[in-house]
Structure 1
């Protein structure tokens, strides 16, 4: 199939949903539309507002068709999410992975789930393991679960709604789900044990085209009836895709959004610590990639609600005054899952710029800790919102001692998802980041680490 020129990427992040248009010839983003990804609180449990997202997608595709034309549709979403279908309807709402309901079956699920050595997936809180979601839903809503005919991971749910074709895909199955065994490249023993295997459609490559859009979608949006739809990909792996085969291994991609996710391609999975939120993701080619992560974007928004670009004086005030944030402000995740977040002083006394500086340095220090778990590559490429945080990037360059690049991709995932249709690897561009030069920063970092020892 010829490479489509104008590719609409549906990008469902945990905080925001976007539809961006990528020119596959220039690798540039031409347009973008965004909406908050709100969680509904009605029904049996908190869940995704899939019908509002669906309306947003269709409206965005229609507008992009009028403005530029759309030649293909690709899909990327956050992980730890699945849709349970009974025929062509949802058997149960699409569960919000931050909901604590699956904790109700923690003990029985803990006895049923595979060992880390099989799945390279740690036991995570709430619904962050899809296996834990399914296990809880099967017990808590037995009648509805008995009606389930198909289980679709989240990108493939939207691909099905657009194309009418069902598929499974390894980047979402391999995203700390407990459902996939990366070394076997097959479903895990949990799936067999719980008799879920027949509920998953056949596995298709992320880059496969499932089919054209359904006729009614063409009518609604004005897109051509033959507009192709890809199978779709997990969002962190979308950030990874443009770099595969284009850098000397090992190298680290830092995909940021609600989560900050460090993935070291060509790294060693043997040093992962399941108790510290380090695991293996599975890339678009089915290969395990050592990964460590924390909710960096969520913590930034929480700790610096009135963010302002810090001045040199702001940075100096924070470092000289030893103002530090200590992890973790999101319990149960990241490399310090049991440590309760706190400040060394009163953050409310800081100016917006100084507070932003302190939070940016905090995120860089936690990121360095993540890299000690998943392995430090010969270079680091930052994707997504944190690529625009100059202090964070320069502090990370100083802390790690390896070259750091800040990606120019505005979404961090759009380019990679568009490349599911093809296109040359290595087309992602970035800006080299100079290491932070401050006489007191090395000692500041040493004190931060000592406080956590």
Structure 2
């Protein structure tokens, strides 16, 4: 029987369950997807009832499995999502989707009371006001559904609700409060004054450290149950715990998010860029981040190139960096791509591809995308002293992306890591007493060093 830590890692699409041994090696995993249901306005949302039933059934099945001795369980989930409970602990509303649009009049009335907008966004580390800010969801419910709001005993962020399913204890923790919720005033290190003025503090449970766990007797077994963690903060945790020098993590995928956990300047009043955002470390310290719709734009543009050149849709996966091709592009460099999901002042009014080879057009595309990425990373570094960059996610395997990034940041040490476990592993680590050492990333994340190519 192996001693294990169980983790539910809940994404918008994939719901995952992992077991990790004492060395954080994955020994079991299970995935599932649920069809979305609709809220009262017909907008798609999470099937919370199905999710809860799955959590219980999977966990009880594992407890009965003679191969594993579950010592602890924790939860990592996407953010910007509240579950509202009544005095009986029953769920009051659908789990409103953070992409759900709300009436502009709600946002206008909020700004009228608590603006000006720029000052508010800079103190809360948010880049806009919408349901992507879970705090605004509470304001929206209070002022458009007062009869529902009156029944709310507790509002729990999704990671803490999953913990509540197993413990029955309502709690709040820093990483969920700090992820673009508009609830937290980073300058005061407390809920923003608007939270108190609207009396929302009465329905937000006691704040505890993300490392808190509750020792419980569950189905006859003594188990340590974590309070849950926001997935982006969770993915960052193994790096923070095992690296003793300042660094920036570039987490790539549909969104490329550059995270600076060591900033002494969280979002300032001067920052009005909607692509800046704050997260929070498990100790309550701010993480400055900038986001770029890199993977989404890459997918759009590669699809167009495949059609234009009549090549197979997987051709881009096999292209390696070619110094001669890059030299030709950079010699008389011009921007050639008009982005569809990114706004940039350098882009032309329409895409123009003068090349007759797919490989050349692809090198041009990656050069332009990496230049956008460089700006995003430089913005998040600001005036902080950062000598190390870590890249994980989809682009860590893209030869051009890594070679170009290494080239343009020749003054920094660039490393790539490979872990599909990401936030799940962070959730396991957050409730463990075990210290991580500098070899952790090499052993568990296939850490690779990269050196810049030689300029000829």
TM (norm. structure 1) is: 0.80
Query: How do 1:10-409 and structure 2 match up within 5 A?
Result: 10-23=8-21, 25-36=22-33, 39-44=36-41, 45-62=43-60, 64-65=62-63, 66=65, 68-87=68-87, 88-101=89-102, 103-113=104-114, 115-116=119-120, 119-124=123-128, 126-212=130-216, 215=218, 218=219, 225-244=221-240, 246-269=242-265, 272=268, 273-301=271-299, 303-304=301-302, 306=313, 308-312=316-320, 325-327=337-339, 329=341, 336=343, 344-345=351-352, 363-375=369-381, 377-401=386-410, 402-409=412-419
* Pair member with larger Rg: 2
Q: Deviations over 1:57-76 (max 9, x none)?
A: 34443565536443321111
Distance in 2, matches of 1:20 and 1:303, equals 35
Distance in 2, matches of 1:102 and 1:90, equals 24
Distance in 1, matches of 2:381 and 2:404, equals 18
Distance in 2, matches of 1:11 and 1:345, equals 42
Q: Deviations over 1:88-129 (max 9, x none)?
A: 222211111112225452211223446347734234254211
Do 2:335 and 2:346's aligned partners in 1 also have CA atoms closer than 8 Å? no
Residues 388 and 90 of structure 1: is their aligned pair in 2 closer, same or farther, counting only changes over 3 Å?
farther
Indicate the larger mover: 69-78 or 146-155: 69-78
Does the residue aligned with 1:197 lie in a helix, a strand or coil? Answer: helix
Where does structure 1 differ by over 6 angstroms across 4 or more consecutive aligned residues?
A: 313-319, 337-343, 353-359
Does the residue aligned with 2:207 lie in a helix, a strand or coil? Answer: coil
Distance in 2, matches of 1:33 and 1:368, equals 37
Deviation at 1:146, TM superposition (A): 2.0
Distance in 2, matches of 1:328 and 1:342, equals 11
Aligned to 1:9: 7
Residues 35 and 285 of structure 1: is their aligned pair in 2 closer, same or farther, counting only changes over 3 Å?
same
Do 1:310 and 1:356's aligned partners in 2 also have CA atoms closer than 8 Å? no
Residues 323 and 278 of structure 1: is their aligned pair in 2 closer, same or farther, counting only changes over 3 Å?
closer
Residues 431 and 195 of structure 1: is their aligned pair in 2 closer, same or farther, counting only changes over 3 Å?
same
Deviation at 1:192, TM superposition (A): 0.7
Residues 26 and 270 of structure 1: is their aligned pair in 2 closer, same or farther, counting only changes over 3 Å?
closer
Distance in 1, matches of 2:291 and 2:52, equals 29
Does the residue aligned with 2:7 lie in a helix, a strand or coil? Answer: strand
Distance in 1, matches of 2:393 and 2:239, equals 14
Residues 337 and 112 of structure 1: is their aligned pair in 2 closer, same or farther, counting only changes over 3 Å?
farther
Do 1:11 and 1:414's aligned partners in 2 also have CA atoms closer than 8 Å? yes
TM (norm. structure 2) is: 0.79
Residues 313 and 433 of structure 1: is their aligned pair in 2 closer, same or farther, counting only changes over 3 Å?
closer
Structure 1: runs of 5+ lacking an equivalent:
219-223, 331-335, 441-453
Indicate the larger mover: 302-311 or 141-150: 302-311
Distance in 2, matches of 1:130 and 1:160, equals 18
Residues 6 and 192 of structure 1: is their aligned pair in 2 closer, same or farther, counting only changes over 3 Å?
same
Deviation at 1:183, TM superposition (A): 3.5
Residues 315 and 193 of structure 1: is their aligned pair in 2 closer, same or farther, counting only changes over 3 Å?
farther
Aligned to 1:416: 426
Distance in 1, matches of 2:124 and 2:35, equals 30
Aligned to 2:448: 432
After superposition, the CA RMSD in angstroms is: 3.5
Do 2:180 and 2:277's aligned partners in 1 also have CA atoms closer than 8 Å? yes
Distance in 2, matches of 1:96 and 1:266, equals 31
Residues 149 and 136 of structure 1: is their aligned pair in 2 closer, same or farther, counting only changes over 3 Å?
same
Q: Deviations over 1:364-396 (max 9, x none)?
A: 333322222211731112233443444333332
Aligned pair count reads 421
